[in-house]
């Protein structure tokens, strides 16, 4: 009960006029940041951090966390409209969101994405409100072995999704792993696969690969099929929001499952990106409409968006209660807390009640305001698709270039982006799946790092991955997911040889 | 008539004088890029963004200051970027120990002499931490436990590989003639939490990375790797403050290590450029925000410029070379 | 997608796909070489830097070989794309390549103005007024959003230097 009293006090803080203003400003800035590829949540918050330096800490963190919500919302917009994920966690949203937009259902896709984001965040905030201390201690259980198990599970639940030939999937995924390995090996502190090229010191950034493979690749495919941008007939009417809402309750189970996946991944802290992939993968397998995934199934938008937003929100909990960031953006927010003289950690909830509960209250309000703001803009976003291709295409290309550049302030990355674009076009035409490649780039080096940290700790014994109930459970879940797909593949291959024989 | 001519002449002369003075003191004419050779959210990044915030809040510069992270290759990306910006006085870089360790461990073509030293802002301390639930109350308790355990079975967590944390670990190993298993993580906060979760047995976190867990009663500091105890006597937990942590040397662990938080510029910076930034950082250091920041991280606030600074850096470089050579961390060429 | 347009000329799908498989294999070989340099054995601290990349490289090569074989076995005479379609694709790739290549020298703004202008005028056939409006408008908006508001510096060339921004 004390929590609820604190929370209402928090609402009183967050609802001060100045804080409401700050909240709305933060959301709008965040949406802009989320839409512009390359700026991203972490960079965006870092860039705007000094602006908040002269505000009181509570207002400052409200603004920054609202930028974060805004970026989470905004990431979905370009994914759905142009197949360009503004944020890593919206990659999975492109799989069904973009096909929907092509079929003239951009409004529905955007509404579903925003609404499920809100649901995910709300679920996570409620969890933070009610069970914060308990959850924080759960996060402490996660050493390297447990983390590896989580990555393993994320991979296993996603692999084997694609209907592409298995060896193409393997080739694509391994290319992703190889690209992720370039640069500094974090365990030995040694450079690898850089061949003395300075530009490769940083490895291949995920965002550059994604902007190229998805964004540029898609523009090239569109060019090949003639100049028409296929989403031209998008409805631009606010009614689409209400109509979509009517259909959403049907997917409550998907949403609930995605909420749990998201919260779990946010706390552990594996982050929003694996959460969105995993949630998409599981939804695809469990859903009756599983076969429609990838062709514009609304459930394929709901699942990753719910999970990503739940994870993004839940990631703030370990940051506040342990001082360990659950995501890169949370890492920057953490820096912000320290600058304002607030020490995140076990004592924050005790010593800085006003701050903590003001922040939690602003999570409720910020997400609500965010939802209202982005939903009213759905028609505007959808209308962008009506702009003729020969105007929008160069603008998208320039924006992609800016995005690729601003990731590391390097023009080399911009060239790399174009190379990835051509590669993406070729791979897509040759029926190689891009999703496993992207997943491998995001998680590859983290999984390898966790694996090798575990082996260092166990002095080389693989038994560490089954050394306690927690890690064993996750590993077994992962193995089940993996073998499930192997069985599926086996059946399809059997069928394949039979038809080939006949 | 004559007087007016005279007046015009005087005004002209005066104008020349003032413009002459103005051009003598160089000032940035474009936004200043502040490079951080580490990721967002880390110690160097926090310091850079604090400085950026202070500069903005107190309007210490006419042009904006822009923080850019170039963390690739353990910071090598950032160093090479500044090295190549020879004629650009609008680019400065904040360094940590990777100024020495990265070129030595990775073999990238860089040495601190490729840059122009501006100022040392502070030194970051290192503290030996253990989990508060463990029975080790003093350095001796812990060292005895390490010696008793089979070599390599005790785990030391740290940030990065072949960088400051691991260098200290190797030095500690040498001092107690036993072995740890060193496990590298990405960030200091994560290391501290791994210690709280008992996934490692000890860490050498910076104060700012672990203070929250200390206050929460989860971690216990054993000693500080400095020649003298830290200066901050404000109580943090149970009436104990930073000042009450003994030096490692006094506890029989003969190792001192401080990490540079300093500013450098491109190789061809002139004295005017350097002087401008020295003045700027003097103003930054005088603000209450900076002092709060120093206190929250229990920093050693030594400020050095010019020849003193260069000499200090040179000494540190030699020391790192020796330490890393002994530890076998030098790049084998790649 | 557009592979069944028989009658029109263009590269065979089989040939392109075989080429892609070969390129991927080459990539795999590069990865293997790099891994061997970094050390592929199991050192004192567990697997060394090149351990995982080495096997990843091997897997890439092996799976490419299988894909290559599949192409040769199953490939039919379908087209990859018609020449006309490829010309369309190249009409984006080549200007973009020039745009991207010029950026380090001219800066982002000048390159973007010319690029957008080219695209709209030659591919879109818009009136000059519209073309100039968009071509100059977008970089100016970009300048204010990125450089003035978010303080993100973008690549600049001699013109910006001369203008002092």
Dihedral angle at the C-alpha atoms of A14, A18, A22, A28, nearest 10 degrees? Answer: 110
Q: What is the full per-residue pLDDT of chain A (502 aa) written as tens digits?
A: 677 788 888 888 888 899 899 899 999 888 888 887 666 667 777 777 777 777 888 888 888 888 888 888 888 888 898 888 877 788 899 999 999 988 888 889 999 999 999 999 999 999 888 887 777 778 788 889 998 998 888 888 777 555 677 888 889 999 999 999 998 888 888 888 888 887 888 788 888 888 899 889 988 988 887 755 444 555 557 788 888 888 899 999 999 999 999 998 888 777 788 899 999 988 988 888 888 888 889 999 999 999 999 998 888 887 787 777 666 777 777 777 777 777 777 777 777 887 888 888 888 998 999 999 999 888 888 788 778 888 888 888 998 898 888 877 888 999 999 999 999 999 989 989 888 898 888 888 888 889 988 988 888 788 889 999 989 998 998 888 777 766 666 777 777 665 554 4
Share of chain B above pLDDT 90, in %: 54
CB A87 within 8 A of CB A71: yes
Do the strands B91-95 and B65-69 form a parallel or antiparallel pair, or are they unpaired?
Answer: unpaired
A214 DSSP 8-state letter: I
Per-residue CA distances from C13 to A171, C18, C80 (Å): 19, 8, 4
Q: How large is the angle between the packed helices C13-38 and A411-429, nearest 10 degrees?
A: 130
Contact: C153, B64; criterion CB under 8 Å: no
Cβ–Cβ contact A64 with B under 8 A: no
- Across the range B69-98, mean pLDDT stands at 88
CB A299 within 8 A of CB A254: yes
- Element housing C46 (H / E): strand C46-47
CB contact under 8 A, A195 and C56: no
User: Is C153 close to B334, i.e. CB distance below 8 A?
Assistant: no
Q: What is the DSSP letter of C9?
A: -
DSSP single-letter state for residue A216: I
> What is the C-alpha separation between C162 and A350, in angstroms, rounded?
56
How does DSSP classify residue B30?
S
- pLDDT greater than 50 at residue C110: yes
What does each C-alpha distance from A40 to A31, A36, A46, A47, B154 come to in angstroms? 10, 7, 10, 10, 40
Partner residue facing B66 (CB), from C37, C38, C151:
C151
Cβ atoms < 10 Å from Cβ of C7: 6
Sign for the pseudo-dihedral over CA of A474, A480, A484, A485: positive
Nearest chain A Cα distance for residue C104, angstroms? 6
Strands B202-203 and C42-43: unpaired
Q: Are strands B154-159 and B202-203 parallel, antiparallel or unpaired?
A: parallel
Which chain C positions have a beta carbon within 8 Å of A448's beta carbon?
Answer: 52
Write out the E strands in chain B: 32-36, 65-69, 91-95, 116-124, 127-131, 154-159, 180-185, 202-203, 219-224, 259-265, 304-305
Torsion of CA A149, A155, A161, A162, to 10 degrees: -160
Helix, strand, coil share of chain B (percent; to 5): 45, 20, 35
Q: Nearest CA of chain C to the CA of A258: how many Å?
A: 31
Residues B76/B102, Cβ–Cβ less than 8 Å = yes
Contact A193 C101 (CB under 8 A): no
Structure tokens at A413: 């990355």
Tokens representing A186 are: 């974090």
Given CA atoms C48, C53, C56, C61 in this order, what sign does their dihedral have? negative
Provide the phi-psi class of B298: left if phi over 0, else alpha when psi is between -120 and 50, else beta.
left
Separation in Å, CA of A5 to nearest CA in chain B? 24
Order of strands, sheet of B259-265, starting from the edge strand that comes earlier in the sequence = B65-69, B32-36, B91-95, B259-265, B116-124, B304-305
The whole-number pLDDT of residue C1 equals 43
| The pair of three-digit structure tokens given for residue A136, joined into one six-digit string | 């924080």
A369: left (phi over 0), alpha (psi -120 to 50) or beta: alpha
ipTM score assigned to the predicted complex: 0.91
Distance from CA of B274 to the nearest CA of A (A): 24
Residues 34-53 of C with CB under 8 A from B: 37-38
CA atoms within 13 A on the CB side of B96: 25
**B40 interfaces chain C, CB cutoff of 8 Å:** no
Q: Is the pLDDT of residue C106 over 80?
A: yes
* Chain C interface includes A462 (CB < 8 A): no
DSSP of B111-122: -GGGSEEEEEEE
- Half-sphere exposure of B88 toward its Cβ, with a 13 Å CA cutoff? 16
Size of interface B-C (CB pairs under 8 A): 14
3-state secondary structure B34-87: EEECCCCCCHHHHHHHHHHHHHHHCCCCCCCEEEEECCCCCCHHHHHHHHHCCC
CA atoms within 13 A on the CB side of A405: 20
As given in the structure block, the two tokens for residue A305 are: 């968006």
* Residue A164 C-alpha, separation from nearest chain C C-alpha, in angstroms: 12
DSSP count for chain B of H helices, then E strands: 11, 11
Least confident among A278-282, B201-205, B211-215, B318-322: B211-215
C37 to chain A, any CB pair closer than 8 A? The answer is yes
Using the predicted structure, report yes or no on whether residue B2 has a pLDDT greater than 70: no
Residue A323, φ and ψ in degrees, nearest 5: 80, 15
Is pTM beyond 0.90? Reply is no
Sort out which chain B residues have CB atoms less than 8 A from C152's CB and list them: 66
Residues sharing a CB contact under 8 Å with residue C50, sequence separation 6 or more, in sequence order:
A192, C34, C35, C36, C37, C38, C39, C40
């Amino acid at each position: 009960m004390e929590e609820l009293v604190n929370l209402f006090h928090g609402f009183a803080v967050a609802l001060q006029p100045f804080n409401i203003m700050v909240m709305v400003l933060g959301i709008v800035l965040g949406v802009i940041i989320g839409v512009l590829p390359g700026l991203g949540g972490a960079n965006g918050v870092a860039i705007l951090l000094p602006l908040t330096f002269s505000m009181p800490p509570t207002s400052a963190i409200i603004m920054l966390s609202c930028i974060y919500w805004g970026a989470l919302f905004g990431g979905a917009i370009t994914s759905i409209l142009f197949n360009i994920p503004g944020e890593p966690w919206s990659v999975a949203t492109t799989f069904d969101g973009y096909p929907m937009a092509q079929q003239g259902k951009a409004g529905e896709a955007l509404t579903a994405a925003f609404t499920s984001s809100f649901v995910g965040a709300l679920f996570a905030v409620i969890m933070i409100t009610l069970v914060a201390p308990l959850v924080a201690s759960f996060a402490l259980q996660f050493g390297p072995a447990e983390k590896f198990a989580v990555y393993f599970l994320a991979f296993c639940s996603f692999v084997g999704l694609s209907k592409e030939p298995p060896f193409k999937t393997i080739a694509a995924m391994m290319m992703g792993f190889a690209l992720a390995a370039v640069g500094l090996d974090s365990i030995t502190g040694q450079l690898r696969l850089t061949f003395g090229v300075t530009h490769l010191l940083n490895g291949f950034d995920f965002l550059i690969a994604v902007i190229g493979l998805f964004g540029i690749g898609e523009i090239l495919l569109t060019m090949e099929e003639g100049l028409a941008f296929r989403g031209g007939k998008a409805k631009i009417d606010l009614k689409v929001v209400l109509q979509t809402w009517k259909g959403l309750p049907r997917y409550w189970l998907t949403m609930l499952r995605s909420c749990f996946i998201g919260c779990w991944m946010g706390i552990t802290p594996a982050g929003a990106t694996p959460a969105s992939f995993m949630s998409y993968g599981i939804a695809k397998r469990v859903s009756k409409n599983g076969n429609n995934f990838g062709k514009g199934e609304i459930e394929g938008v709901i699942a990753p968006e719910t999970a990503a937003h739940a994870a993004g929100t839940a990631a703030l909990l370990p940051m506040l209660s342990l001082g360990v960031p659950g995501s890169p953006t949370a890492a920057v927010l953490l820096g912000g807390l320290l600058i304002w003289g607030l020490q995140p950690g076990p004592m924050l909830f005790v010593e800085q009640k006003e701050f903590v509960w003001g922040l939690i209250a602003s999570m409720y309000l910020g997400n609500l305001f965010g939802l209202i703001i982005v939903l009213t803009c759905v028609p505007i976003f959808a209308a962008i698709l009506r702009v003729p291709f020969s105007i929008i295409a160069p603008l998208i290309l320039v924006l992609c270039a800016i995005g690729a550049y601003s990731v590391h302030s390097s023009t080399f990355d911009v060239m790399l982006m174009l190379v990835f674009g051509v590669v993406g076009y070729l791979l897509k035409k040759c029926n190689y799946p891009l999703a496993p490649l992207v997943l491998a780039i995001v998680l590859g080096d983290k999984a390898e790092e966790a694996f090798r940290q575990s082996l260092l700790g166990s002095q080389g014994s693989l038994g560490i991955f089954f050394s306690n109930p927690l890690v064993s459970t996750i590993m077994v879940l992962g193995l089940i997911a993996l073998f499930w797909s192997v069985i599926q593949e086996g059946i399809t291959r059997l069928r394949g040889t039979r038809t080939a024989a006949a | 008539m004559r007087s007016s001519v005279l007046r015009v002449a005087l005004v002209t002369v005066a104008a020349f004088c003032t413009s002459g003075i103005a051009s003598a003191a160089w000032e940035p004419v474009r936004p200043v890029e502040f490079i951080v050779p580490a990721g967002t959210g880390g110690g160097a990044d926090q310091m850079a963004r604090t400085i950026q915030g202070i500069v903005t809040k107190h309007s210490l510069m006419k042009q904006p200051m822009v923080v850019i992270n170039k963390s690739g290759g353990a910071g090598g990306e950032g160093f090479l970027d500044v090295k190549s910006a020879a004629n650009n006085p609008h680019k400065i870089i904040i360094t940590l120990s990777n100024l020495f360790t990265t070129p030595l461990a990775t073999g990238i073509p860089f040495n601190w002499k490729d840059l122009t030293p501006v100022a040392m802002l502070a030194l970051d301390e290192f503290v030996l931490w253990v989990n508060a639930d463990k029975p080790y109350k003093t350095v001796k308790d812990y060292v005895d436990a390490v010696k008793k355990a089979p070599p390599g079975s005790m785990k030391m967590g740290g940030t990065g590989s072949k960088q400051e944390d691991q260098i200290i670990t190797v030095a500690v190993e040498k001092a107690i003639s036993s072995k740890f298993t060193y496990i590298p993580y990405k960030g200091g906060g994560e290391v501290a939490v791994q210690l709280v979760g008992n996934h490692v047995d000890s860490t050498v976190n910076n104060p700012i990375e672990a203070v929250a867990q200390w206050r929460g009663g989860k971690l216990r500091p054993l000693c500080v790797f400095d020649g003298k105890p830290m200066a901050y006597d404000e109580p943090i937990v149970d009436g104990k403050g930073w000042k009450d942590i003994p030096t490692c040397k006094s506890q029989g662990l003969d190792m001192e290590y401080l990490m540079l938080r300093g500013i450098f510029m491109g190789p061809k910076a002139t004295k005017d450029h350097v002087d401008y930034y020295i003045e700027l950082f003097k103003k930054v250091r005088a603000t209450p925000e900076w002092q709060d920041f120093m206190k929250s991280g229990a920093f050693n606030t030594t400020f050095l410029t010019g020849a003193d600074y260069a000499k200090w850096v040179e000494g540190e470089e030699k020391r790192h070379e020796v330490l890393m050579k002994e530890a076998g961390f030098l790049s084998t060429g790649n | 997608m557009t592979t069944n347009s028989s009658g029109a000329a263009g590269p065979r799908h089989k040939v392109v796909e075989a080429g892609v498989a070969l390129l991927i294999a080459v990539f795999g070989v590069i990865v293997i070489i790099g891994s061997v340099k970094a050390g592929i054995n199991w050192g004192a601290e567990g697997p060394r830097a090149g351990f995982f990349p080495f096997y990843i490289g091997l897997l890439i090569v092996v799976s490419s070989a299988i894909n290559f074989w599949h192409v040769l076995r199953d490939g039919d005479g379908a087209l990859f794309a018609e020449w006309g379609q490829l010309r369309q694709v190249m009409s984006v790739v080549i200007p973009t390549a020039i745009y991207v290549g010029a950026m380090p020298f001219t800066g982002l703004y000048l390159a973007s103005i010319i690029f957008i202008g080219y695209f709209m005028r030659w591919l879109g056939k818009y009136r000059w007024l519209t073309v100039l409006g968009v071509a100059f408008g977008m970089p100016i908006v970009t300048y204010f959003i990125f450089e003035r508001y978010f303080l993100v510096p973008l690549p600049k060339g001699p013109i910006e230097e001369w203008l002092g921004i």
